[in-house]
Amino acid sequence: MKYLVLADWHYDHWKKADRDPFADVEREISELDLLILAGDISNKPRVRWKNAFAEISRLLPPDRIHVLPGNHDYYQHVFDGDERLSEIAAAAGVRYANMADIRIGDTRLLCATLWTDFEIGPGRMINEEHIPRRMNDYKLIRVASHGYRKLRPRDVIQRHLSHRTWLDTQLARPFPGSTNVVTHHAPHPDVLLDYSEDLEAAYASDLSGIIARHAPEAWLFGHSHDACSLTVGPTLLKNVSLGYPDDVADPAGRIRSLIRETETVSDTV
């Protein structure tokens, strides 16, 4: 069985550039048993998600597609708007997979956006002061339950802790096959390249303890398009970003390189 985890499609940017990243890999996509879109499908999701899902569903039946949001999927939306995102996905026949356990063959994939804890780099207090001035997340995302105020670092930290606790709990449950974790944000600072503006804490957290405790086969992540892949103990930390059109000279080659296989022992759930 074949599956693909792909982050950072940024459908709106590829559309504006009049390019289709899937144009030369349509056969490979059509043969997938599972596709997980791991965040940053598009800005303004209430308008553009349905168009993105309609486009990818030309290549693959929508019930084989799962989606979890990245930070961009809350732009011109609300941070506490997962229910609406789930409804948009369901209307397109796509499965919403934030904090979801997905099974394919002998593999389980534990999926969550994750966000970050603001701890790495210069430390939480400095990061909370500095990062909102530099990141669009804090200009373009609102919190509906608090009078539609702008997103704050504390909102992100609380969401991160919720997702991290869920992942830790799920990873502790015995599973006879292999386990992959799928998050939008990165689980280790060493995957990041040098960020001259001290923005590392907006892209990654240090989850070395969880990785060491549970040793999943792989942790697949996106968000930072130029992040590297590395191994921590027995766990592969793999960047599965596509990225903006200007980032990718050969999108088909990039997508082909991310297709994975698993043994067929059961149906996808």
Per-residue pLDDT reduced to its tens digit, 209-266: 999 999 999 999 999 999 999 999 999 999 999 999 999 999 999 999 999 999 875 3
Domain boundaries, the chain: 2-261
Distance from C-alpha of 117 to C-alpha of 243, rounded to nearest angstrom: 23
Domain 2-261: assigned CATH number: 3.60.21
pLDDT lower than 50: segments of the chain: 266-269
Are the C-beta atoms of residues 95 and 109 closer than 8 Å to each other? Answer: no
How does pLDDT run across 152-171, given as a tens digit for each residue? 999 999 999 999 999 999 99
Token output for 25: 């890999």
What is the number of residues in the chain? Answer: 269
Task: List CB contacts of 123: < 8 A, sequence separation 6 or more.
Answer: none
For residue 47, the surrounding DSSP H or E stretch is helix 45-56
pLDDT reported for residue 32: 98
**Structure pTM?**
0.96
